[in-house]
Amino acid sequence: MRRLYADGREFAWTGQICHQAGERDRHALQADLLSKTVLPWGCAADDSHPTPKDVRTVIDYALAHGWDPDLLRGTSFLSESEHASAFELADLLLTDRLRDGKAPDPSTRVLRAFDENPRPYGAGLAHSRV
């Protein structure tokens, strides 16, 4: 578990695909992220993870958009359907695909982002829970 300080508070975070209980049963934040890079054969999973700067950006955005980490229990989600048009990281996109198998295929968004700013390597999933 990593620690990050933002908005005068300490946040614990992980970049793994897993369930992480909220520290002291506080209200967790979840942002499922997808790498914008593409392999020669198209979108595929890689080992991309958010950087501490990315996590800080996610936390700042979530706080500005109503996430209250002081609430007890539960999880707030930064969903693609609600936030993708207003929120994007330099190398990662929000995706709903990890929580909802019926969510739109994010390949089109990844390919568009890659065309706008090509980067080497692959397109992978990263799951961050604060």
Number of domains the chain contains: 1
Q: What are the backbone dihedrals phi and psi of residue 66, each rounded to the nearest 5 degrees, phi first?
A: 100, 0
Look at residue 123 in the predicted model and tell me its pLDDT: 38
Separation of CA 38 from chain center: 18
Do residues 93 and 33 touch, judged by C-beta distance below 8 A? yes
Look at residue 21 in the predicted model and tell me its pLDDT: 52
The series of mean pLDDT values per 10 residues for the chain, 130 residues long, is 73 55 69 76 66 89 90 86 88 82 80 72 46
Query: Could you tell me the residue range of the domain that residue 84 belongs to?
Result: 2-129
Residue 36: beta bridge partners?
A: none
pTM: 0.70
Give Cα separations from 87 to 8, 59, 80, 82 (angstroms): 22, 12, 9, 10
Residue 1 token pair: 């578990």
